[in-house]
Structure 1
Amino acid sequence: MATSTTDPVTSPRPAPQDARTGSAAPGGTGLTMFAVLLAVFVVPISISGTAVALPEIGADTGAGSASLQWVVNAFNVAFACFTLVWGTLADLIGRIRAFTLGAAIFAVASLVCAFSPNIYVLDGARALAGLGGAAIFACGSAILSSAFDGPARAKAFALFGTVAGVGVALGPTVSGPAVDALGWRWIFGIQAAVLAVVLLCVPAVKRQVKEQPAGGGRLDVRGAVVFVVAMAALTYGIVQGSAWGWTSPGTLGLLVFAVVLLAVFSALAKRTEAPLLDVSLLRNRRFVAYTLVPVAASFGFVTQLTYLPSYLAAVAGYSASTAGVTMLLLTIPVLALPMVGAKLVQRGTSPVAVIVVSLLCLVVGDLGLLLIGPEASFAVMAPAMLVTGAGMGLSAGLVDGQALALVEPAKAGMAAGFINTLRLGSEAIAVAVFGSLLASLAADGSGTDAAASYDGAFHTLLWAMAVVCLILGVLVVALTRGSSRAEHAG
């Protein structure tokens, strides 16, 4: 696969002419962007917002804690398992058709959630919603990659990152009052209504973005089955690892099984004419570098977003509402900075430079929080949280646009699926592993009070976050430098 030494955003590529790709119609693509971003907004708000409703769902259905947790986990596992499959399928049947199918599945699943008679139907419907969410993310980013070029493309992906960040940040804020005022079932009904609006926009999107799916191709079913089973084993093992124990036979068995299946998947991909994942994508060092950035954000930002509120409550004595408001320091940069990153690139800044700064912000922000203690001074927390949020915000959307610009248009869906598989998979791994580490370290603090144990454990966790981000940052720099030299030599 050919790459270019020029910046894929600041040097716009011509509109794709391949019949298998989409190209913008002369009338503009404003409604396309609206429909895609509205659907994208529903996915993260469904993840973060549903967690707020769990207590009321449990009280209403009488569900135990394990079944209740799968209201969230079922969505995440299905999302992680099927994102790559949807991305590849979109290249075959058409991205708009696949996106529409995913939005319809999500809408129907949300309606089933709203009318669920028991927790088991709800868990199953949430898994179905995760299947639809995987299509929205993989196919939505592929549609944007096809429909926009140059500065407009950079703006589209910056908005993609902004909207996803808004969904994560506003999920609890929007869903909490909805649950209190209307009941938990309404949050799923609202999601279905929003996606109905998206589906109403599809005919206009088809007129704005012309595409024709690849003729004669077919899905690598064998590879898809192996990959889905491998991801299911991996994510289920990670989700259950903290409950079963990371060295328990069940956890280790699932993780080993997943690794073996992923090795089989890789071997099959090399022997298949049209594999689920074309491994030649991974020979592009710059593409691989960009895909590692969301992984760093999972460890440096998502873990902080997940566990800092509990630290503020357990150690600093914050109320739930005060801790929630404080977390705005972490999320506000995610809402504001994706457009800043895109504009810097448009004005000539190297996208790699912007991404390296974002990774440094993750490291510095995580290390900066080492200064917090039981008093949790706002003056100490605010700079560290804002810097961490900047690390997430500067690269949000930018990495997707840059990575997809390196891929031949016919494989944009596959590439988008791979990026989003890494994104959600790494989030699941980071949250589960660091949560288990946090619980273990806090429990090991014998002879001290619970708050002091948690304080020490969280500080160890911050060191681990920073180290992982630093290692990934070094890898990103090494891969981008190596690719630049190789491209120049070629």
Structure 2
Amino acid sequence: MSARRASPAITLVAVCVACGLLPASLTGTSIALPDIGTDLGVSLVSVQWIVNAYNLTFASVMLATGALADLLGRKRMFGIGLAGFVACTAAAGAVSDIVVLDVLRGAAGIAAAMVLTAASAMLAQAFDGPARMKAFGWLGSSFGLGLALGPSTSGILVDLWGWRAVFFTHALIAAAVALALPKLAESRNPDATGVDWLGTTTFSGSLFALTLALVEGPQLGWAAPTVLALYAACVVLLIAFVVAESRQERPMFDLSLFRQPRFVAVCLMPVLLAFGFVCLLVFLPSFFIGITGMSAQRAGLTMLLLTVPVLVFPVVAGTVSKTVPPRVLLGASLLLVAGGAAWLTTIDRTSGVGTLLGPLLVIGTGVGISFGLLDGAAVSTVPASRAGMAAGMFNTMRLTGEAVAIAGMGSLLVTLTRGGLTGDPGRYAAAGDAGTVANKAAQGQIAELATALPAGQRAAFTDFVSGSYTTAFHTVLWLLAAVCALGAPAIVWMLRDRTSTVDELAPVTP
């Protein structure tokens, strides 16, 4: 179909629904993790890879799939990505082998990268001028909607029909989007030269080695030869990636952009927010289910306290930024996230909505403000001729930050919980060693562990393990607060006014 016969409105709807589904597949799946672990009877490491594999491959191949879309056709890549996402996600809901499930989630991440990169290019092709800016504003809102509604909708699905319903529902939505393919226009980049396979391989390998080291660290020991070898491999591959990109005439990851402090600041923002927000989207549901005893549905609905402000405040930020400098708003957003994370350390086994309301709303408000500014800022901090490259690098940094932050927080929670449990060795030996108990606690399966003990010990055991995990969670929250609080002045400083030919930071709102 020619571009003139294609429908821009259908393109916008198809792109926004598809791209809203991609983050929902991350945050929504986190609600299902405790049920998956219990149903399949698998270890924490295996369950973590359901999330990590998706994020890891999504981030690793983003730039490569973008280059392939330019070369083979954006509509074709969009269709292939949707087909792959449907097949892998539907299969994930049908299998009962955790290794197969993890592999399918990794494959779904590759398909998600195909969809996102092709969708962005199709949107740019379908709209011009102010209409294009507005269309990308809607695209940014769809990301926020997916992140926000993923946990709550998945919680309802898990309670009604079980964890498999989450994957089947996501597959059905992607299949419905595919029905719009005949109404979409095909486009290519006539100057496309192919894929930088060396850069893709070294970057993917480095990220995989780092993620695997973070996941296996608490299990094998942080000084274990395997873990140290993985860190070494990460560094070697990262150096190889930098060398490979510096020698490319047209690199997929233009490292020279990192000489611009404003661009570095914009790329660091989603990395900081990954620690202060995305990690909570993944790990708070397990805390609610395993520690406070909430059902999956109630945990998902409680997460709305965190996610609803993310839907509201991007528009507010776009309006306020006309009078308040965006760099001030971005700094304030990080301070709000830091303050909310510190406030959230008041949670314990008895916490209800009254305790959670304040800190979750504060964190969500800070994230919502930044979401209203970042997508536009990513391209406005560089010359217009490099906007496409900047957007690709920004999204890669965002997804890479999420992958590393989730793996790191999960590992830290297990390590700290195990440290609290080893203070009383052998007290509840029938439930397993400290490592096993810490892993199960992180999966929200404390009640299941307690069944291995005599009835008279179960209540005390539950209090003991819940207390250790809660203390570990508090420690991690303080670290998240510190990261965001220290990052705020650094971001404001890097975004200060300089003599530059690029535009000021500009929000993109629908």
Identify if the C-alpha distance between structure 1 residues 100 and 465 changes in structure 2 by more than 3 Å, giving closer, same or farther: same
Q: What is the aligned-residue identity percentage?
A: 41
Once the two structures are TM-superposed, the CA of residue 374 in structure 1 deviates from its matched residue by 5.8
Give the 5 Å matches for 1:338-353: 338-345=314-321, 347=322, 349-353=324-328
Contact 1:434–1:461, Cα closer than 8 Å, also in 2: yes
Q: Residue 222 of structure 2 corresponds to which residue in structure 1?
A: 246
Q: Relative to structure 2, which stretch is displaced further, 387-396 or 468-477?
A: 468-477
Q: In the alignment, does 2:71 pair up with 1:99?
A: no
Q: For the residues of structure 1 that align with 2:71 and 2:228, how far apart are their CA atoms?
A: 36
Give the 5 Å matches for 1:323-402: 323-345=299-321, 347=322, 349-372=324-347, 376=351, 378-396=353-371, 398-402=373-377
Identify if the C-alpha distance between structure 1 residues 86 and 407 changes in structure 2 by more than 3 Å, giving closer, same or farther: farther
Contact 1:291–1:422, Cα closer than 8 Å, also in 2: yes
Q: Which letter does structure 1 place at the counterpart of 2:480?
A: M
Q: For the residues of structure 1 that align with 2:41 and 2:283, how far apart are their CA atoms?
A: 27
Identify if the C-alpha distance between structure 1 residues 28 and 339 changes in structure 2 by more than 3 Å, giving closer, same or farther: farther
Post-superposition CA distance 1:317-364 (Å, at most 9, x none): 65655444332211111122223223434x454333332232221122
Q: In the alignment, does 2:494 pair up with 1:479?
A: yes
Secondary structure of residue in 1 paired with 2:218: helix
Once the two structures are TM-superposed, the CA of residue 487 in structure 1 deviates from its matched residue by 4.8
Q: Which letter does structure 2 place at the counterpart of 1:466?
A: A
Q: Which letter does structure 1 place at the counterpart of 2:207?
A: M
Once the two structures are TM-superposed, the CA of residue 409 in structure 1 deviates from its matched residue by 6.0
Q: For the residues of structure 2 that align with 1:462 and 1:111, how far apart are their CA atoms?
A: 35
Identify if the C-alpha distance between structure 1 residues 64 and 471 changes in structure 2 by more than 3 Å, giving closer, same or farther: closer
Contact 2:156–2:296, Cα closer than 8 Å, also in 1: no
Once the two structures are TM-superposed, the CA of residue 153 in structure 1 deviates from its matched residue by 4.9
Once the two structures are TM-superposed, the CA of residue 36 in structure 1 deviates from its matched residue by 1.1
Once the two structures are TM-superposed, the CA of residue 183 in structure 1 deviates from its matched residue by 5.8
Secondary structure of residue in 2 paired with 1:102: helix
Identify if the C-alpha distance between structure 1 residues 414 and 485 changes in structure 2 by more than 3 Å, giving closer, same or farther: closer
Identify if the C-alpha distance between structure 1 residues 408 and 34 changes in structure 2 by more than 3 Å, giving closer, same or farther: farther
Once the two structures are TM-superposed, the CA of residue 133 in structure 1 deviates from its matched residue by 0.8
Once the two structures are TM-superposed, the CA of residue 286 in structure 1 deviates from its matched residue by 1.8
Q: Which has the higher contact order (CA 8 A, sep 6+)?
A: 1
Identify if the C-alpha distance between structure 1 residues 352 and 258 changes in structure 2 by more than 3 Å, giving closer, same or farther: same
Q: For the residues of structure 1 that align with 2:87 and 2:148, how far apart are their CA atoms?
A: 25
Q: Residue 127 of structure 1 corresponds to which residue in structure 2?
A: 106
Q: In the alignment, does 2:190 pair up with 1:214?
A: yes
Q: In the alignment, does 2:89 pair up with 1:110?
A: yes
Contact 1:333–1:386, Cα closer than 8 Å, also in 2: yes
Secondary structure of residue in 1 paired with 2:253: coil
Secondary structure of residue in 2 paired with 1:481: coil
Q: For the residues of structure 1 that align with 2:23 and 2:318, how far apart are their CA atoms?
A: 22
Q: Which letter does structure 1 place at the counterpart of 2:363?
A: T
Q: Residue 436 of structure 1 corresponds to which residue in structure 2?
A: 411
Secondary structure of residue in 1 paired with 2:179: helix
Q: For the residues of structure 1 that align with 2:285 and 2:30, how far apart are their CA atoms?
A: 14
Q: Which letter does structure 2 place at the counterpart of 1:138?
A: T
Identify if the C-alpha distance between structure 1 residues 134 and 238 changes in structure 2 by more than 3 Å, giving closer, same or farther: farther
Identify if the C-alpha distance between structure 1 residues 418 and 220 changes in structure 2 by more than 3 Å, giving closer, same or farther: same
Once the two structures are TM-superposed, the CA of residue 169 in structure 1 deviates from its matched residue by 3.4
Contact 1:146–1:409, Cα closer than 8 Å, also in 2: no
| Structure 2 unmatched ranges of 5 or more | 425-462, 503-510
Q: Which letter does structure 2 place at the counterpart of 1:278?
A: D
Identify if the C-alpha distance between structure 1 residues 423 and 259 changes in structure 2 by more than 3 Å, giving closer, same or farther: same
Which of 416, 420, 441 is the aligned partner of 2:391?
416
Q: Relative to structure 2, which stretch is displaced further, 392-401 or 370-379?
A: 370-379
Q: Residue 298 of structure 1 corresponds to which residue in structure 2?
A: 274
Q: In the alignment, does 2:444 pair up with 1:465?
A: no
Contact 1:145–1:401, Cα closer than 8 Å, also in 2: no
Q: In the alignment, does 2:258 pair up with 1:277?
A: no
Identify if the C-alpha distance between structure 1 residues 144 and 350 changes in structure 2 by more than 3 Å, giving closer, same or farther: farther
Q: Residue 16 of structure 1 corresponds to which residue in structure 2?
A: none
Q: Residue 59 of structure 2 corresponds to which residue in structure 1?
A: 80
Q: Which letter does structure 2 place at the counterpart of 1:440?
A: T
Secondary structure of residue in 2 paired with 1:206: coil
Secondary structure of residue in 2 paired with 1:246: coil
Contact 2:152–2:303, Cα closer than 8 Å, also in 1: no
Once the two structures are TM-superposed, the CA of residue 127 in structure 1 deviates from its matched residue by 1.7
Once the two structures are TM-superposed, the CA of residue 96 in structure 1 deviates from its matched residue by 4.1
Secondary structure of residue in 1 paired with 2:184: helix
Q: For the residues of structure 2 that align with 1:176 and 1:108, how far apart are their CA atoms?
A: 23
Identify if the C-alpha distance between structure 1 residues 217 and 416 changes in structure 2 by more than 3 Å, giving closer, same or farther: same
Which of 250, 268, 271 is the aligned partner of 2:244?
268
Contact 1:84–1:276, Cα closer than 8 Å, also in 2: yes
Contact 1:158–1:338, Cα closer than 8 Å, also in 2: no
Post-superposition CA distance 1:453-487 (Å, at most 9, x none): 444333322221111112322222122116x2455
Q: For the residues of structure 2 that align with 1:308 and 1:58, how far apart are their CA atoms?
A: 16
Q: Relative to structure 2, which stretch is displaced further, 42-51 or 174-183?
A: 174-183
Secondary structure of residue in 2 paired with 1:274: coil
Post-superposition CA distance 1:92-142 (Å, at most 9, x none): 445444333322321232344355474444333222111011222334345
Identify if the C-alpha distance between structure 1 residues 231 and 214 changes in structure 2 by more than 3 Å, giving closer, same or farther: farther
Post-superposition CA distance 1:284-329 (Å, at most 9, x none): 3222211111111111112333344455566666565544433221
Q: Residue 235 of structure 2 corresponds to which residue in structure 1?
A: 259
Cα RMSD for the two superposed structures:
3.5
Q: Residue 19 of structure 2 corresponds to which residue in structure 1?
A: 40
Identify if the C-alpha distance between structure 1 residues 159 and 364 changes in structure 2 by more than 3 Å, giving closer, same or farther: farther
Q: Relative to structure 2, which stretch is displaced further, 105-114 or 247-256?
A: 105-114
TM-score by length of 2: 0.78
Q: For the residues of structure 1 that align with 2:360 and 2:36, how far apart are their CA atoms?
A: 32
Post-superposition CA distance 1:350-396 (Å, at most 9, x none): 33333223222112212222445565465453222111001111222
Once the two structures are TM-superposed, the CA of residue 63 in structure 1 deviates from its matched residue by 5.9
Identify if the C-alpha distance between structure 1 residues 444 and 238 changes in structure 2 by more than 3 Å, giving closer, same or farther: closer
- The alignment covers a number of residue pairs equal to 461
Secondary structure of residue in 1 paired with 2:496: helix
Q: Residue 198 of structure 1 corresponds to which residue in structure 2?
A: 177
Secondary structure of residue in 2 paired with 1:188: helix
Once the two structures are TM-superposed, the CA of residue 38 in structure 1 deviates from its matched residue by 0.7
Q: For the residues of structure 2 that align with 1:336 and 1:25, how far apart are their CA atoms?
A: 35
Identify if the C-alpha distance between structure 1 residues 62 and 361 changes in structure 2 by more than 3 Å, giving closer, same or farther: closer
Contact 1:360–1:470, Cα closer than 8 Å, also in 2: yes
Secondary structure of residue in 1 paired with 2:189: coil
